Structure 1
Amino acid sequence: MANGGLAYGPISSYSRVRILHLLFVAASEQGRPERTIGELCEATGLHANTVREHLQRLMEGGYVIQSIERRTTRGRPRTLYTAVTGLPEASSPVAREKVAEAARRGDLLRRMLAEEGSELGRDATYQLDALTEHLEESGFEPIIDEEHLTVELTPCPHAAGAPEHRPMLCQVHLGLMQGVLAQAGGPLKAECVQAPQRPEECTVQLRLLPARAVAA
């Protein structure tokens, strides 16, 4: 098992979780949402080559995008890294393809089972398709309650990890879920992780956005 009790996908390393956390924090701040390899090295204490390897895995998973700095002065432009949030300015081709594939598989399954989509509407159906596949890829077994707008992830596969890592893990997973839902486009947003009563508990609260907010 990897550091911090993680064992799944591109975020199976706690070092990658730390890097993603730094990029999510940067994306939420006013000003510059990008970070350089040098800044990530300084914040994590990791060697530049190690940071590059982690960023490569995160880009392959559709969680991070890179861009080249636009300079108005002389000097070699730096490579910048940004967390994928699903918004137009921070969207990944990999993430877009994953969302589209999830919708196609969801439609196929519904036709096979003669089932309708979510009562919340077509866009929400595709959001839930993408969210379910993302969570399963990350090692969870999600149960979605559309009436109460919750995603039950108990038992959390990270509960056995170091307790001090849990807050950052929860923040990163919530950020990833927010990015997936935004990338899919629709009325649902991941709002928060509910305070657990026991370490193995994990419930994410969704929120249904007003139609005007979705259109904007």
Structure 2
Amino acid sequence: MTTKAAGYSAISSYSRVEILHRIQENPQRTVTDLVGATKLHANTVREHLHRLLDDGYIVSQVEHRTTRGRPRVLYSAADGAGSSSAVQQRKVKEAAHRGDLMRRVLPSELPPELTTEALHQVDALVENLVDAGFDPIVDESDLTIDLTPCAHAEVQAAHRQVLCSVHLSLMQSVIAQAGGPLTVDGMRSSCDPRDCIVQLSARG
């Protein structure tokens, strides 16, 4: 598996991954919350939040206050269900469009067991993983996505648990935003930390 150059992904920086992880765990976080949790400078946290917003990973809202004082900005993860970003919605639609075009060129690649909605979910998920620096291999029959070998297992070995959690949450949000029968079950267990196979399932 090859990975993209680090600078192109909003989650290539572990500091942004950590911020995203904390927002995924507890929504409606403020800059002050995140500064205290990460020990990063407030300006650094704001820069990371802007990048995550621009790439559709999180959403923001201004706090409603009934007392005096400047309203705070609250940040939550774009989970594709309760909250989604315009950027996330656009990416999902564009991925489905590109997937449809590809299948017209290569009609034999269309797996009969997957509905159009499910295929669009896979399209969105694959493009999200590519943007994150992976080179996913999809098995439509087994409903798996192989990301082996996982570069994070060695490069960010000390933070592997957080990275896996963040990537799984992102995949679940993309699947939810795309809409359809597929869900993300999780990652298949393996003795080798470099092995990474994501298992999907189809409702019904």
> Is TM-score (shorter-chain normalized) higher than 0.5?
yes
Note the C-alpha offset of 1:116. Answer: 5.9
Q: Return 45-54 or 72-81, whichever deviates more.
A: 72-81
**C-alpha separation in 2, matches of 1:123 and 1:116:** 16
1:21 maps to 21
Note the C-alpha offset of 1:74. Answer: 2.0
Note the C-alpha offset of 1:195. Answer: 2.0
CA displacement 1:91-120 (0-9 Å, x = unmatched) = 000000000000111111111123464422
1:108 pairs with one of 101, 110, 117: 101
Alignment check: 8 A CA contact 1:84 1:91 kept: yes
Are positions 1:125 and 2:98 aligned together?
A: no
Are positions 1:90 and 2:114 aligned together?
A: no
Q: Give the secondary structure class of the aligned counterpart of 1:120.
A: coil
1:11 maps to 11
What is the number of residues matched between the two proteins?
A: 198
Q: Return 106-115 or 177-186, whichever deviates more.
A: 106-115
- 2:115 counterpart letter in structure 1: G
Alignment check: 8 A CA contact 1:36 1:81 kept: yes
Q: Give the secondary structure class of the aligned counterpart of 2:10.
A: helix
Q: Give the secondary structure class of the aligned counterpart of 1:160.
A: helix
Percent identical among aligned pairs is 54
Structure 1 residues 113 and 46 mapped into 2: Cα distance closer, same or farther (>3 Å)? same
Note the C-alpha offset of 1:147. Answer: 2.4
Are positions 1:176 and 2:170 aligned together?
A: yes
**C-alpha separation in 2, matches of 1:198 and 1:37:** 37
- 1:156 counterpart letter in structure 2: C
Alignment check: 8 A CA contact 1:154 1:202 kept: yes
RMSD (Å), alpha carbons: 1.5
Q: Give the secondary structure class of the aligned counterpart of 1:200.
A: coil
Alignment check: 8 A CA contact 1:136 1:142 kept: yes
Structure 1 residues 114 and 120 mapped into 2: Cα distance closer, same or farther (>3 Å)? closer
Which one scores higher on RCO, CA 8 angstroms, separation ≥ 6? 2
1:55 maps to 49
- 2:203 counterpart letter in structure 1: L
CA displacement 1:114-163 (0-9 Å, x = unmatched) = 34644220110100000011111111111122222211110112122232
With the length of structure 1 as denominator, give the TM-score of the two structures: 0.87
CA displacement 1:50-71 (0-9 Å, x = unmatched) = 0000011111111011110011
Are positions 1:146 and 2:140 aligned together?
A: yes
CA displacement 1:158-180 (0-9 Å, x = unmatched) = 12223221000000000000011
* Runs (5+) with no aligned partner, structure 2: none
Are positions 1:135 and 2:149 aligned together?
A: no
Q: Give the secondary structure class of the aligned counterpart of 1:90.
A: coil
With the length of structure 2 as denominator, give the TM-score of the two structures: 0.92
Structure 1 residues 62 and 150 mapped into 2: Cα distance closer, same or farther (>3 Å)? same
